[in-house]
Amino acid sequence: MAAAVALTRQGVPVSVFEAGRQPGGRARTVQLNDLNLDNGQHILIGAYRHTLELIDFLHPAVPPPYQRLPLTLEVPDRFRLQAARLPAPWHLLAAILRAEGITWKDRLALTRFLSRLKKQRFKLPHDEPLLGFLQRHRQSRFLLQWLWEPLCLAALNTPPGIASAQLFINVLRDSLMGAAGDSDMVLPARPLGELLPEAAGNWIRQHGGAVHTSCRVSRIAQEIDGFTIHSPLGNQSFSHVICATAPQHSSALLPASPLLADIRAKLQRFDYQPIYTVYLQYQPGTRLRTPMCALPPGRMVQWLFDRGQLTGEAGLLAAVISAHGPHVELGHNDIASLVDEEIRATLLPALPPPLWHQVIAEKRATFAAVPHLERPAQRTPLPHFYLAGDYTAGDYPATLEGAVRSGLQCADLVMQ
């Protein structure tokens, strides 16, 4: 959708083929008990400039349709680190100095570690698993469990024991270590599917483009002067194609050309990590102390969101479970019951039973962000055929910003 908007803005007629009933893929809107919700509780950060610029373009009204809050990592009554509203780097230094539940020894170790990364210009001599990298830099067990693991799962959706240290440091560079506003948590005030892909589709249609939903492409064939798209609409010819599907679908859609053999091989080496989002509707008076918080280490849930404070859906909590774990072997009702138990045990002991619950499981939510993963470039060896998606080459792991950047890069390549 980012690519289609960018091309339409430059006067290029586009046709979008979308297999689903609405655009958005893993950032789509679902309806649960008359509520429009995201298929997952998405988090943006202030450093995601391209994504925020696209949302702002599609929604020019003031104020913007999202909240910006200072980065806050909080496990209520146990640990709290909040970025200060100060110019960089003082916003981060003040956060470390004022952090609650952390020893002075750990504050010093954390400050030294971040200073060392900055001196290295956030570039490692070689990539390696994040956990070993942090241990070598004398990050204590407390910092590993209460700070680095939650941040790693939020940013890379990959356990730190196998996650790429370089990809994590890239995110750290642009968020915590960037300008003060770059570390902000940006929480959509409406479903993200509504704010971005659906709004983009409407804008494209209004400006002469086509967006075909429930229209799965079965084949992309290379022709002498372009490509033929095979879909339920019949066979249509195009001069350029941007294949913007998930990697497991891209592999099946690549035209039958030996020029794409290396890309096929790269895609076969991808592994994936799930994200489970558990929505629990409690009585309308149910409320967390903050719009979002973390749960203590060792719990199934990493993050909990109060949708009442964020989007006005009183009493609705959204719990996020990142990456593989024992929960993937459980049924959805069992997962919801365990989430409810964890909320009672850590935050709200007098909580009444939920009125309803819904578990949304994205089994292949992101690629596994492991060291030395070769990701295909947006430009392929096949002229006028491009790849867009959060899995393509870039500085970021599988994030909304990575997806938007790849689409904009493809639009630039088409214009060239």
In three state form, how does the secondary structure of 183-235 look?
HCEEEECCCHHHHHHHHHHHHHHHCCCEEECCCCCCEEEEECCEEEEEECCEE
d(CA 85, CA 52): 20
Q: What is the CATH number of the domain that holds 321?
A: 3.90.660.10
Of 160, 183, 206, which residue is a domain's last? 183
Kindly indicate the confidence band of residue 250, based on its pLDDT and cuts at 50, 70 and 90.
Answer: very high
Region 191-219 average pLDDT: 95
Instruction: Give the per-residue pLDDT at 190.
Output: 86
Of 132, 155, 183, which residue is a domain's last? 183
Residue 319: beta bridge partners? Answer: 278, 304
Alpha-carbon distance values, 106 to 294, 398, 407 (Å): 20, 30, 41
Residue 242: beta bridge partners? Answer: 386
- Type of residue at 155: A
Q: Does residue 353 sit in helix, strand or coil?
A: coil
Instruction: Give the per-residue pLDDT at 126.
Output: 95
Element (H, E) at 35: strand 35-38
Count structural domains, the chain: 3
- Name the residue range of residue 54's domain: 2-67+187-270+371-415
Kindly state whether residues 265 and 375 are assigned to the same domain. Answer: yes
Kindly state whether residues 141 and 85 are assigned to the same domain. Answer: yes
Does residue 67 surpass a pLDDT of 90? no
- The string of DSSP codes covering 278-306 is EEEE--TT---SSSEEEPPTTSS--EEEE
Count CA within 13 A, CB hemisphere, residue 249: 15
Alpha-carbon distance values, 228 to 31, 217, 413 (Å): 35, 10, 20
- How confident is the prediction for the chain on average, in pLDDT? 94
Region 227-241 average pLDDT: 97
Kindly state whether residues 216 and 193 are assigned to the same domain. Answer: yes
Residue 300 structure tokens: 């199934």
Bigger pLDDT: 6 vs 75:
6
Kindly state whether residues 305 and 243 are assigned to the same domain. Answer: no
Kindly state whether residues 256 and 398 are assigned to the same domain. Answer: yes
Region 353-357 average pLDDT: 96
DSSP 3: H
92-110 per-position pLDDT tens digit: 889 899 999 999 999 999 9
Contact (Cβ atoms closer than 8 angstroms) between residue 327 and residue 337:
no
Q: Does residue 349 sit in helix, strand or coil?
A: coil
Kindly state whether residues 222 and 287 are assigned to the same domain. Answer: no
d(CA 184, CA 68): 6
Kindly state whether residues 256 and 376 are assigned to the same domain. Answer: yes
Does residue 63 surpass a pLDDT of 90? no
- Type of residue at 39: N
Kindly state whether residues 118 and 34 are assigned to the same domain. Answer: no
Region 134-154 average pLDDT: 95
Kindly state whether residues 86 and 172 are assigned to the same domain. Answer: yes
Kindly state whether residues 158 and 91 are assigned to the same domain. Answer: yes
Task: For residue 82, report the phi and psi dihedrals to the nearest 5 degrees.
Answer: -130, 130
Instruction: Give the per-residue pLDDT at 27.
Output: 82
Residue 164: beta bridge partners? Answer: 129
Does residue 90 surpass a pLDDT of 90? no
d(CA 201, CA 222): 27
Q: What percentage of the chain reaches a pLDDT higher than 70?
A: 100
Q: Does residue 351 sit in helix, strand or coil?
A: coil
Q: What is the CATH number of the domain that holds 62?
A: 3.50.50.60
pTM of the model: 0.93
Does residue 176 surpass a pLDDT of 90? no
Residue 76 structure tokens: 């209520």
Place of tokens 């558990």: 278
Kindly state whether residues 336 and 386 are assigned to the same domain. Answer: no
Kindly state whether residues 100 and 160 are assigned to the same domain. Answer: yes
